[in-house]
Amino acid sequence: SMVPTLASSARTLLLVLLSVPLASSRDCSRPDLDSDSLAGCTALLLDCTERPSEQAARPPPADCVLGAAALRSLLGEKLKAVGGGLKRLGLRGQLLGSSEAVELLASTLGALTALESLDLADTRLGDKGVAPLLAALPASLSSLDLAHNRLTDEGAKAVAAALGGGGSKLSSSLRLSELSLAWNGVGPRGARALGAALGAADCPLASLDLEWNGLLDRGARELGEALKTNDKLQRLRLGYNGIKDAGAEGLAAGLRRNAALAHLDLSNNGVGSDAERRWRAALAATPPPADRSAGGA
C-alpha cells in the first residue's frame, strides 16, 4: 500500500536532514583572538567596561584593553578574515580614539556584511571619530551603542544625518532599530537634529537611549515635536537630562498624537507631580485614528 511507502520516505528524509552538519557558530572572546582561532565566530565580544546591567555580575579582566599593535591587527586583517559571518562585534572600553584606529575600523566595516550589532561604547571616539564610522556602517546593522564617547551636539547631528535627518542620502542604507547615545554631551541643538530624524517618515528607530546628557527643556520639546509624527519609536530613555515641567509638557503634547511609544523614562529629572501625571496619562492614552494619520493636525 501507499501508506508504508510514504512513511518510509519520510523517515529517510528525516535521517538525511539530521545528517547534514549545521553551520558552525559561536561567541568568541579575547582567548580566541589571542590564539588566532576566530573561524566560525558569529560574535566577537572584547568588552573592557561593564554594561550597566552587569556591573555587579562580571567585571572585565584588568588586562583586557588591547595594545596598539593588537588593536591594529584586529581592526585590519583579523576582522576582515571573519568577514561576512560576524553578526555581533563588541569593543566596549577599547581605546579607538586615535585617527589610525578609526580609519582601520571604518575600512573594515564594509567587509562585515552580516553585522547586526556593534557596541562602541566608552571607546573615546569623540565627534571627530564617530563621523567616518557612521559613513562606513553596513546596511545590515540594526543595533549601535555609542554611549560614553564624549559626543556633543555635533556628534548627534552626524548621527541624525546618518539616520536620514535633513534629507540625508544615507536614509535608505542605515536602518538602525536600536541606538544608544547615553552618557554624552548632547544638548538642545543635538536633540533638535535627532528630532528631525525621528520625525521623518522612514526613520526606523524603535529604541533610543539619551540618558545622562544635557537635553534640558528645549531638547525635550524638540523630541516632543518629533513624537507627533513618528510611528515607529517604542522606547525612549531620557533620565538625568535636566528636564523640568516645561520639557515634560512638550513631551506630553507629542505623546497625545503618538500611538507607537510604549515606554518613556523621565526619571531623575525634577519633573513636578502634576506634569508627571499629565505625561504619563498621555503615554497611556491612544490617540484617535485621525490624529495619528494627520500628525494631530
Least confident of 192-196, 216-220, 284-288: 284-288
Pairwise pLDDT comparison (266 vs 24), residue with the higher score: 266
Q: What is the pLDDT of residue 293?
A: 42
Least confident of 4-18, 150-164, 246-260, 278-292: 4-18
Q: What is the pLDDT of residue 20?
A: 37
Average pLDDT over residues 24-32: 83
Share of the chain above pLDDT 90, in %: 62
Is pLDDT above 90 for 278? yes
Average pLDDT over residues 123-140: 94
pLDDT tier for residue 295 given thresholds of 50, 70 and 90: very low
Q: Cell numbers at residue 120, please? A: 562602541
pLDDT tier for residue 140 given thresholds of 50, 70 and 90: very high
Q: In the sheet where 117-119 sits, what is the strand order?
A: 26-28, 41-45, 88-90, 117-119, 143-145, 178-180, 207-209, 235-237, 263-265
The string of pLDDT tens digits covering residues 175-208 is 899 999 999 999 999 999 999 999 998 899 999 9
Q: What is the pLDDT of residue 171?
A: 40
- How, if at all, do strands 88-90 and 41-45 pair? parallel
Is pLDDT above 80 for 129? yes
